[in-house]
Amino acid sequence: MQEFMQLISLHDALDDTEELSWQERALCAQTDPEAFFPEKGGSTREAKRVCVGCEVRSECLEYALENDERFGIWGGLSERERRKLKKRAV
């Protein structure tokens, strides 16, 4: 039984790794992270410019929406823009 539980834990860990592998391909991983978490009232322009050309933009946005990320630019959207998107989806 213990071996079975260990296999389940390993499988879950692999699933988590596969789910987050998009982060390794994200353009933001190769740039200044501070651009994606600007101070209140700061510009989001630089971060959004990076997001436009990112191949995993949709995965990033989906992750942020599913995990209720409240700070930063995710999938090219600010927290306020993600809130509006969620309201429209309801």
- Pair of tokens at residue 77: 């959207």
Domain ranges of the chain: 2-89
Mention every residue, 6+ apart, whose C-beta is less than 8 A from residue 30. none
Q: How confident is the model at residue 89 (pLDDT cuts 50, 70, 90)?
A: confident
Helices within the chain (DSSP H only): 2-20, 22-25, 45-52, 57-66, 79-89
pTM, whole model, 2 decimals?
A: 0.74
Is 21 a residue whose pLDDT tops 80? Answer: yes
Q: Is 54 annotated as a binding-site member?
A: yes
Q: Is 28 annotated as a binding-site member?
A: yes
Contact by Cβ (8 Å): 82, 64: yes
Q: Report, as an integer, the average pLDDT of 28-51.
A: 92
Q: How confident is the model at residue 58 (pLDDT cuts 50, 70, 90)?
A: very high
Q: Which residues of 40-79 are buried (b: 16+ CB within 10 A; e: fewer)?
A: eeeebebbbebbeebebbebbbebbbeeebeebbbbbbbe
Q: How confident is the model at residue 19 (pLDDT cuts 50, 70, 90)?
A: low
Is 6 a residue whose pLDDT tops 60? Answer: no
